[in-house]
Chains A and B, each alone.
Chain A
Amino acid sequence: MEENKKAINETEAVAMLHQFNEDLLPKKFGKIGKAWVALLCAVFLLGVYCYIIQLRRGLVITGMRDFVFWGIYISNFVFFVAISLVGSLVTAILYLLKVSWRAPLTRLSEIIAVAAIIFAGLIIIVDMGRPDRVVNMVLHGRIQSPIIWDVMVVSTYMVLSILLLYFPLLPGISFCRDHLKGIPKWQKRMYTILSLGWKNKPEQYKLVKKAITILSVMIIPVALCIHTVTSWLFASTYRPGWDSTNFGAYFVSGAFLVGSGGVVAGMYLLRRFNPSYEKYLTNTHFDRMGKLLVLLAVVYAYFSINEYLIPAYKMKGEEAHHLHELFTGYYAPMFWSVQFFGMILPIIVLLFKRGRRPFPMFIMAVLVIVCAWFKRYLIVIPSMSFLPVQEIPEAWKHYSPTLMEWAITGGSLAGALLVITFFIRYFPIISVWEVAEEKGVSTDIIYKHLHEGNEK
C-alpha cells in the first residue's frame, strides 16, 4: 500500500474516496446480525431482571459473604477497565508514533473502549450494597480514598474516550446524514443533531485534527491512571496477593494485551460478516497486530513473573497459603490454563508468520480475552478465600458465583457488546478520511470531495 502514497492523482483519489464511501457506509443487518442483536438483548435483559431482584433482596443473592466479599462483579469491573485501555493504545499511542496502518483500527478500538468503560462504571454500581446512595460520593467524597480516585479517573477517561471517538466521527456522521437513503426519521434526526452542522470545511477539519492531537496526548496518562488506580484498590490493602508494589504495571500490561486481543477479534468479525471491509482490514493489519500482541504478551509475562516469583521465593505466611492455592491447590487448574492459553500459547503461535493469518489470530485473540477474564477472577477472589479464618459458616469459605450473579455479569458483557454492535450498525466503523489520508490522498482533495455522494 505504501507505494501508492506519493503518486496519486486527483481523479484516482476522488474515485478512491467514492469507493471508500460506498464500502464503508453502515449497512442494515442481515439475518445473522439480527439474531446476534436479539441474543444480546435477551442476555442483557435477563441481567437487568436479575439486577432488579438483587435490588429488592440485597446482595444475598450473590455468592459473596463476609469472607469473600468481592466476587465476579469486581473481577468483571477490572476486566472492563482493562479492555477499555485499548482505545488509548491504538488511537493515541500509535497515532503519536505515526504508525501507518492504524487508521482503520482506531474507531473500532475506540468504541470498544467507550463501551467497556461505560459498563465498568455500571458494574461497579451493581456491586454496591446501596446503589441508591451513589450521590454520597459527591456529597461526602473523601479525596483520601482510592475509590474516589477511581471514580474521578474513570469518568474522566469516559469523557475523553467519547470525545476521541466523536471528533473524527463528525465527517462520517454528516455523510450518513446526507447520503443514507430510506432511513427512518429518528435516524436522520440523530445524524443531523450529532453532525453539528458539519460542512466539510477545511477550518472544521483543522479543529478536528487539533482536538485529536490534544486528546491523544492527554488520554495516555489518563488511561494509564485508570488501570493503575484500579490496581491500587487492591494494592492499598494488606491482603496476600494484592499487597504488591508491582500491581500497577502488572495490570496495565495485562490490559494492553487483552485490549489488543479485543481489537483483533473485532477486526476478524467485521471482515467475516461484511466482506467489503476486507480491503481495509487486510492481512497485513492482522500481521502487524499479531506482532504487537506478541510484544504485549511478553511484557505481560515479564510482570507476571515479577508478581509471582518473588513472593514465591519468600513464601511469607499468608502469601504462601495464597500461592499454594494458586500453584498447586484449588485454583491450580484455572491458574495454569490461564497462564498457558492466555499468554504462552499466543506468544508461541503468533511468533510464526502462519500463525498471524486472520483465523488463527482470531482464535488466539479469543483465548486471550477469555483467559484475561478468568485471570481477573484469579486476581480478585483467591486473595480472600482460604485464609485461615474461624467462626464463619463453612459455606462462606468458598466462593462460587450464583446463577444470578452470572446472569448479571453476562448481562453487562452483553450490554457492552450491544453498544458496539449498534454503533457498527449506525455509524461508519472505519474512518474514511483518516484511511484516505493514510493512503496518501492529499487533504485538499479530501476536504473537497469527501462529501460527494456517489449515487449518480
Chain B
Amino acid sequence: MKAMKNDLPYHKSGIGYRRIFFISIVIGALLLINNFTIAQDAKDSSSLSAGQMGKLSFTMNLSSLVSNGARSVKVQVSRKENKKTVIVNDVRSPFNLYLNEVKAYDASDGTGWIGKLNLNYEGEAVFVIPDDFNKLTAGLHEYTFIVKMDSDPKYEDAEETITIADAKISIVFSGEDSVKSATAILTAWKDSAYIPVPEKELKLCIKRTFNFLLFGEAGALTDSTGQVSGDLPMDLPGNTDGTIIIFGRLEDDETYGTVEGGISVPWAILPKKNPVTGRTLWSSGDNAPLVLVISSVVIIAIIWGTIFYLVSLLIRIKRLGKSP
C-alpha cells in the first residue's frame, strides 16, 4: 500500500486532497483484488451483474505469427453493439491457451494447457510461445491452438480454435555491390520435408521503426519454386551500424497464418546523426548559450556586489553609532 500512496498525484500539495486519498485507497484495494484491470467500465459491469441480465457474448479473432521460427498467437476480442464493432477489453477472467487439445499440460510432448493471460486495453492479448515449447514440439508440423475463456461475471464463456500448418521463409541475396536483389523462398512442411509453395503473395520488406517498407514488385506471387525476388534499394538509411533487416513476409494466410523470415545485412547507408544540440535558446538551463550566461553573471555580480557593499555601509553606520 505504501507504493500506492506515493503514486497519488496530489498527495503532497495538501489542501483538501484527503478525501481523494481515502477514495483512492478504496479504489486501490479494489484494483488489487481485480488483478489491476483498470476499471474503465466499472459502472457497466455492476449494472449488468449476472443475476439480472444475460451475459454478453463476444467474438474472438485468433491469428498466428511465425517470425524466424518464433511463434506467437494473438487474440483480438470484440463484440457487436448496435451493429457496430466495439473493442472488448474488460474481460476479467484470464484467457487460457491450449495446444492441440483442452487438457492439463503434458510435459512429454508440450501439448495441453500452455498459459493464460489478460487482455490489454486495446482488447488484445499476444501469446509468445516460449522457446522451450518449440523444442518440445519440434516433431509437430501442424499446430492447433485453442483459446478458452470461462466464468467471467459479464461475458459468456468462449472458445476459439486456429490450426496452422508449418511453413517458413528464408531469404538469399545475389548481385553486385551497387545492384543487389533479394529472393525470398516460401517452403512448407509436407510429408517429410519442407517443399516450396507456389502462388502465394509474398512481400519483400525492410524493417523500419513502426512498420516495414516494401520493395520489389507489388503483389508478386511465388513461382513454382516458391520464390519471389526484387531489387534492394541501396540508398536507404539503416541502423547506426549500417545494417538493415530484410525479410519476406506472407500475411494472414489461411493455412500458414502470418509467416516471416529475414536477416540483417550491412548494405544500408549510415543514417544522419541528429545534430548535437549545443547551447541554444531552447536547450536546458545548463546548456544556455555562453554569451547569455557570461553576460548575465557579470551584470548580476556587479549589481549584487554593490548591494552587498551598501549593506556593509549600513553595518558601518551601526558601528559608528556604537562608538562614543
Contacts and interface: CB of A to CB of B under 8 A. Distances in A.
Q: Do A and B have CB atoms closer than 8 angstroms in the complex?
A: yes
Interface of A: 55-56, 132, 140-144, 149, 152, 156, 159-160, 163, 166-167, 170, 196-199, 201, 203-204, 207-208, 210-211, 214-215, 218, 222
Contacts of B304: 156
A212 to B, nearest CB: 10
Given A144-B281, A156-B304, A203-B320, A196 B314 contact: yes
A201 B289 CA distance: 50
Given A196-B314, A201-B320, 17 more contacts: A56-B15, A56-B16, A132-B13, A143-B292, A144-B285, A149-B296, A152-B300, A163-B307, A167-B310, A197-B322, A199-B320, A203-B320, A204-B321, A208-B317, A210-B313, A211-B310, A215-B310
A143 B284 contact: no
B293 A196 contact: no
Contacts of B310: 163, 167, 211, 214-215
Contacts of B322: 197
8 contacts: A56-B16, A141-B285, A144-B282, A149-B296, A196-B317, A211-B310, A215-B310, A218-B303
Q: What 4 pairs across the A-B complex have the smallest Cβ distances?
A: A197-B321, A142-B285, A196-B318, A143-B288
A218 B304 CA distance: 11
Contacts of B289: 144
B306 interface: yes
A204 B317 contact: yes
Contacts, number: 68
Given A207-B316, A211-B313, A144 B321 contact: no
Interface string B102-138: 0000000000000000000000000000000000000
A164 to B, nearest CB: 9
B277 to A, nearest CB: 13
A207 B293 CA distance: 34
Contacts of A143: 285, 288, 292-293, 296
Contacts of A222: 303
A207 B317 CA distance: 7
Given A55-B15, A56-B15, A142 B317 contact: no
A140 B285 contact: yes
Q: Which of A152, A196, A214, A222 has the most CB of B within 10 A?
A: A196
Interface in B290-320: 292-293, 296, 300, 303-304, 306-307, 309-311, 313-314, 316-318, 320
A371 B293 CA distance: 39
B89 to A, nearest CB: 28
Given A143-B285, A218-B306, A170 B317 contact: yes
Interface of A is mostly: helix
Given A197-B322, A199-B320, A144 B288 contact: yes
Interface of B: 13, 15-16, 281-285, 288-289, 292-293, 296, 300, 303-304, 306-307, 309-311, 313-314, 316-318, 320-322
Given A142-B284, A144-B288, A199-B321, A159 B307 contact: yes
B285 A207 contact: no
Contact of A197 (B306, B311, B318): B318
A437 B310 CA distance: 23
Contacts of B15: 55-56
B239 to A, nearest CB: 34
Contacts of A141: 285
B287 to A, nearest CB: 9
Nearest to A55: B15
A199 B288 CA distance: 50
Q: Which of A56, A144, A199, A201 has the most CB of B within 10 A?
A: A144
Nearest to B307: A159
Given A159-B307, A211-B313, A214-B306, A142 B288 contact: yes
B233 to A, nearest CB: 41
Contacts of B300: 152
Q: Which of B13, B292, B313 has the most CB of A within 10 A?
A: B313
A207 B320 CA distance: 10
A433 B293 CA distance: 43
Contacts of A197: 318, 321-322
A312 B314 CA distance: 53
Contact of A196 (B283, B292, B321): B321
B307 A160 contact: yes
Contacts of B317: 170, 196, 198, 204, 207-208
Nearest to B311: A163
A173 B206 CA distance: 83
A160 B304 CA distance: 10
A160 B317 CA distance: 18
Contacts of A170: 317
B20 to A, nearest CB: 12
Contacts of A204: 317, 320-321
Contacts of B283: 144
Nearest to B281: A144
Contacts of A215: 310
Contacts of B307: 156, 159-160, 163
B144 to A, nearest CB: 51
Nearest to B303: A156
A204 B289 CA distance: 45
Nearest to B297: A143
Contacts of A140: 285
A141 B288 CA distance: 11
B70 to A, nearest CB: 45
Contacts of A210: 313
A291 B288 CA distance: 46
B155 to A, nearest CB: 37
Nearest to B12: A132
Nearest to B314: A196
A144 B292 contact: yes
A248 to B, nearest CB: 17
B107 to A, nearest CB: 57
Q: Which of A143, A149, A197, A204 has the most CB of B within 10 A?
A: A143
A222 B300 CA distance: 11
A156 B16 CA distance: 36
A272 to B, nearest CB: 35
B312 to A, nearest CB: 10
A152 B304 CA distance: 11
B102 to A, nearest CB: 52
Nearest to A199: B321
Contacts of A167: 310, 314
Contacts of B296: 143, 149, 152
B311 to A, nearest CB: 8
B164 to A, nearest CB: 47
